[in-house]
A and B are shown apart, each in its own frame.
Chain A
C-alpha cells in the first residue's frame, strides 16, 4: 500500500496496517523534517507531488521489494503540503517472518522512494530565502544518481 497524505502521519496506524500473526518482525522508518539543511536553519517546508506518477512508480517499487525480499505486508505514506520542523514527512512499515527481510526491505523502499518518486521539497530558511531542494541550476549535486536509478529499477540487493 502506498499513498500520499495531506494529514499528519500517525506512525502507529501504519504499523497496525502491516501486522500479521505470521510476522515475527515489523520494521518502521520515519523520515522527519529537520531544522537545518546545507548549513542553513530551516523554518518550514512544503512537499508537492505528481500524484498519478507517484502511485504508478510506487507500485513498481513495492513489486520490486516483494521480488527481492520475503515480506508479508508493506505500507508507505508520504506527506504533501505544508510541514513543520519534526513532522513526519514519510513513513515506511514492513512486516516479515524474520527480521532480516523487514530491515532490508525497509531500507530498499525508503532509498528508492527518495530517488524515484516525483515529489519536490520547497524549503523556507530562517534568513527568508526559499529553495526547491536539488533544483538550483548551479548546484553541485547533478542528480546523476537519480537518473541512473530510473534507468535501472532492478537494482541488486544490498
Chain B
C-alpha cells in the first residue's frame, strides 16, 4: 500500500504562473515522480503533459520512474530556452 509522504514543490516559469505561486508543500501517495506530476497537473490544470517535461529532485535531474521520497524537494522542469 502507498505510504503518505510530504514533498516540497518549487515552481518556475510557466508552471509558476499557472499555479500562481512559487513553492508549496503537499501530501501525496504517488509512488513515482510521473504519478506525482499527473496528480498535481490534474489538480491545477497545468497545460504541459509529462512527456514535455523533465524533473529534478533535491537540485539534481531525476527520472520520472524514480520513487517519491518523503521530504524531497521537487521541481518539474518545463522545456528550457536558455542561451
Determine whether B82 belongs to the interface, using a CB cutoff of 8 Å to chain A.
Answer: yes
Across-interface contacts of B47 in A (CB, < 8 A)? 135, 137
Shortest Cβ distance from B12 into A: residue: A50
Report how far A121 CA is from B56 CA in the complex, Å: 19
Across-interface contacts of B13 in A (CB, < 8 A)? 48, 120, 122, 132, 135
Known: A48-B12, A150-B54. A119 touches B61 (CB 8 A): no
Across-interface contacts of A49 in B (CB, < 8 A)? 12, 82
Interface centre among A78, A113, A143 (most CB of B within 10 A): A143
Are the CB atoms of B14 and A118 closer together than 8 Å? no
- Interface of A, secondary structure class, is mixed
Report how far A142 CA is from B49 CA in the complex, Å: 11
Total contacts A-B at CB 8 Å:
90
Are the CB atoms of A116 and B59 closer together than 8 Å? no
Are the CB atoms of A50 and B14 closer together than 8 Å? no
CB neighbors of A among B67-83 (8 A): 75, 77-83
Report how far A115 CA is from B80 CA in the complex, Å: 7
Are the CB atoms of B61 and A57 closer together than 8 Å? yes
Across-interface contacts of B61 in A (CB, < 8 A)? 53, 57, 150
Q: How large is the interface on B (under 10, 10 to 19, 20 to 34, 35 or more residues)?
A: 20 to 34
Are the CB atoms of A120 and B83 closer together than 8 Å? no
Are the CB atoms of B83 and A113 closer together than 8 Å? yes
Report how far A135 CA is from B46 CA in the complex, Å: 11
Are the CB atoms of B81 and A133 closer together than 8 Å? yes
Across-interface contacts of B77 in A (CB, < 8 A)? 50, 53, 118
Determine whether A69 belongs to the interface, using a CB cutoff of 8 Å to chain B.
Answer: no
Are the CB atoms of B52 and A117 closer together than 8 Å? no
Chain A window 82-118, contacts with chain B (Cβ cutoff 8 Å), 1 for yes, 0 for no: 0000000110000000000000000000100111111
Q: How far is the CB of A149 from chain B (nearest CB, A)?
A: 10
What are 10 of the A-B contact pairs (CB < 8 Å)? A49-B82, A50-B75, A52-B59, A57-B61, A118-B56, A119-B81, A121-B81, A122-B13, A135-B14, A147-B51
